[in-house]
Amino acid sequence: MTVLRTLFVTRRYWPHLGDDSSAWLYALADGLQRKGAAPEIVTPRYAASWPKNLRVCDVPIHRPLPAPRSEWSMGRYVRSLTQWLAEHAPEFDLIFADSLHEEAKAAVDAARRCGIPSVLRFGGSEGLSDAGWWQQNRLRKQYRQACRAADCLVAPRAFAEQELISIGCPRQRIVRIANGFPTAAISTATQRQQARKSLASANSDLHVAADDLVLVTTNRLQPESGIMDLVTALRRLQDECPRLQVWMLNDGELRESIFSHICSEGLQAMVKLPGTFCPIDDLIAAADLYVLPRDTEGLNYFLPRFVAAGVPAAVANTAESRTLMGAAMSHVAAFLPHSPEEIVNAVMSIVNDLPTARENARRARQLVLTHSFNDTVNAYLRVFLRLTGRSDSSSSNNYEPAS
């Protein structure tokens, strides 16, 4: 059997792995490659100095076009992307787009021209989901039509499936594949200290005392991420737990205003803005707790990574987060979103009884790992093999490409 060559089409990839969706796609590409498939990525470049072609973890990345920066440049970007895909698609067995935005239409159109299958994945959550994006886009009819023409649509959860059905996508083409939870070991106290030393050697801002508690959050520094709810809660958290250290990973348009707030409140010793990290294994190992201030991002990759590693978590209590966590939601510190006071209460419930919080985190880990990320990778591989005529109902675990 020849190697399954799949082209992933996405707006953001390397080096944007601080982005929740990009990190998830990176993990999927890596998982498929480990199982013998040959994924490649096409994504725009965000600076003229970026190379047009490179390899990351042996996955080829193509960046033939500049990133769109306006509505006018978006039209040109989609046309150029469709042309590039049409030229290169014959080299692949299948095209996969990780959202239902402009790239989805380009992927479906190019795949149809070349006679290969197209697969689209419903992305985002709540108001920032693909369904929310459709409502704001004047060309939504074209994009919905493209979705209906795709050979397969992946719905990570029931809400996504319902939205796809509501725009007329054929039920028989919709496949439910959950995002999955990556398997990871629980860090010991020794491993936690070793991870902190390693991070401090790479970035001195991340130096912490031996008895400090480290809170990690990964939501981007943008208004819709909910990060300002946590920022507003910082003063009370510092007053109630002076040994708490807060690491706000990632970047965004609010970085300068957040830094100014931290300085004006005299919280520089408590709060660090180290930017984007990849990989995040040491960050997970170093953390005493993880906070998801809002569900607009983090549900694809970061929350599953921390929960699957047994890190106590404070999580915005929404329909989306409850769907993802299932029964494990009862073992995290859930709080109502849009409320700094609720965040303080949730964090302090963990800090004030860390042994119980860690035991709850172990129970949450046991529950979520019944939906492992390996199962997710296998499910995608089964879909890809079926659509390309390489397998019908056989297990993807039996896929053995020719060398």
Q: What is the pLDDT of residues 261-309, one digit of tens each?
A: 999 999 999 999 998 877 889 999 999 999 999 998 899 999 999 999 9
Average of per-residue pLDDT across 160-189: 92
Q: Are 77 and 88 in contact, with CB atoms under 8 Å apart?
A: no
Residue 341 counted as domain residue: yes
Map 295-309 to HEC letters.
CCCCCCCHHHHHHHC
* 206 and 339 inside one domain: yes
| Residues 45-88 pLDDT 10s | 999 999 999 999 899 999 999 999 887 888 899 999 999 999 99
Q: Is residue 107 part of a domain?
A: yes
**Nearest partner of 206 among 269, 267, 254, judged by Cα:** 269
The Cα–Cα gap between 140 and 143 comes to 5
Q: Tell me, what's the pLDDT at 134?
A: 64
Q: Give the gyration radius of the chain's Cα atoms.
A: 21
Same domain? For 392 and 276 the reply is no
Q: Are 329 and 321 a contacting pair, CB within 8 Å?
A: yes
User: In terms of domains, do 207 and 74 share one?
Assistant: no
Sequence-distant (6+) residues with CB within 8 A of 339 are 229
SS3 78: helix
Query: Which domain does 378 fall in, by range?
Result: 5-180+372-398
Instruction: Write down the residue that tokens 């896929």 correspond to.
Output: 399
Question: Quick one: 225 and 259 in the same domain?
Answer: yes
CA gap 16, 42 in Å, rounded: 14
Give yes or no: residues 165 and 204 share one domain.
no
Rounded to whole angstroms, the Cα distance separating 383 from 150 reads 13
Total structural domains in the chain?
2
Minimum mean pLDDT among 117-126, 191-200, 244-253, 391-400: which range?
Answer: 391-400
In this predicted model, what pLDDT tens digit does every residue of 204-228 receive, in sequence order? 999 999 999 999 999 999 998 999 9
pLDDT digits (tens, 9 = 90+) for 228-237: 999 999 999 9
Same domain, 104 and 197: no
Cα-Cα-Cα-Cα dihedral of 241, 242, 245, 248, to 10°? Answer: 70
CA gap 119, 97 in Å, rounded: 6
Q: Are residues 248 and 197 in the same domain?
A: yes
State how far the Cα of 132 lies from the Cα of 275, in Å rounded to an integer: 28
pLDDT of residue 50: 95
- What percentage of the chain exceeds 70 in pLDDT? 93
Rounded-to-5 percentages of helix, strand, coil across the chain: 50, 15, 35
CB atoms within 10 A of CB 91: 11
- What's the pLDDT score for residue 139? 66
User: What pLDDT is attached to residue 395?
Assistant: 44
State mean pLDDT over 121-139. 71
What pLDDT is recorded for position 133?
67
**Within a domain: residue 153?**
yes
C-beta of residue 369 within 8 angstroms of C-beta of residue 326: no
Contact 110, 86 (CB under 8 A): yes
Kindly state the helix (H) or strand (E) to which residue 61 belongs, with its residue range: strand 59-62
Model confidence band, residue 394 (pLDDT cutoffs 50, 70, 90):
very low
- Strand partners of residue 9: 42, 97
The domain spanning residue 202 has which CATH number? 3.40.50.2000
If asked whether residues 242 and 124 sit together in one domain, one would say no
Is the confidence at residue 33, as pLDDT, over 80?
A: yes
Please tell me whether residues 264 and 234 are part of one structural domain: yes
With 60 as the cut, is the pLDDT of residue 400 above it? no
Q: What is the pLDDT of residue 167?
A: 85
- Work out the average pLDDT over 140-165: 88
Largest CA distance in the chain: 63
244 and 151 fall within a common domain? no
Q: Is residue 403 part of a domain?
A: no
Looking at per-residue confidence, does 131 or 374 come out higher? 374
Q: How confident is the model at residue 403 (pLDDT cuts 50, 70, 90)?
A: very low
pLDDT of residue 358: 98
Looking at the chain, the whole-number percentage of residues with pLDDT higher than 90 is 77
pLDDT at 144: 82
217 and 347 fall within a common domain: yes
pLDDT in tens, 343-360: 999 999 999 999 999 999
Same domain, 208 and 244: yes
Q: How far apart are CA 21 and CA 105, in angstroms?
A: 19
Mean pLDDT of 309-322: 96
Question: Mean pLDDT for the chain?
Answer: 91
Euclidean distance between CA atoms 58 and 60, whole angstroms: 6
Q: Is residue 74 within 8 Å of residue 96, measured between CB atoms?
A: no
Place of tokens 């006018």: 72
Establish if 282 belongs to a structural domain.
yes
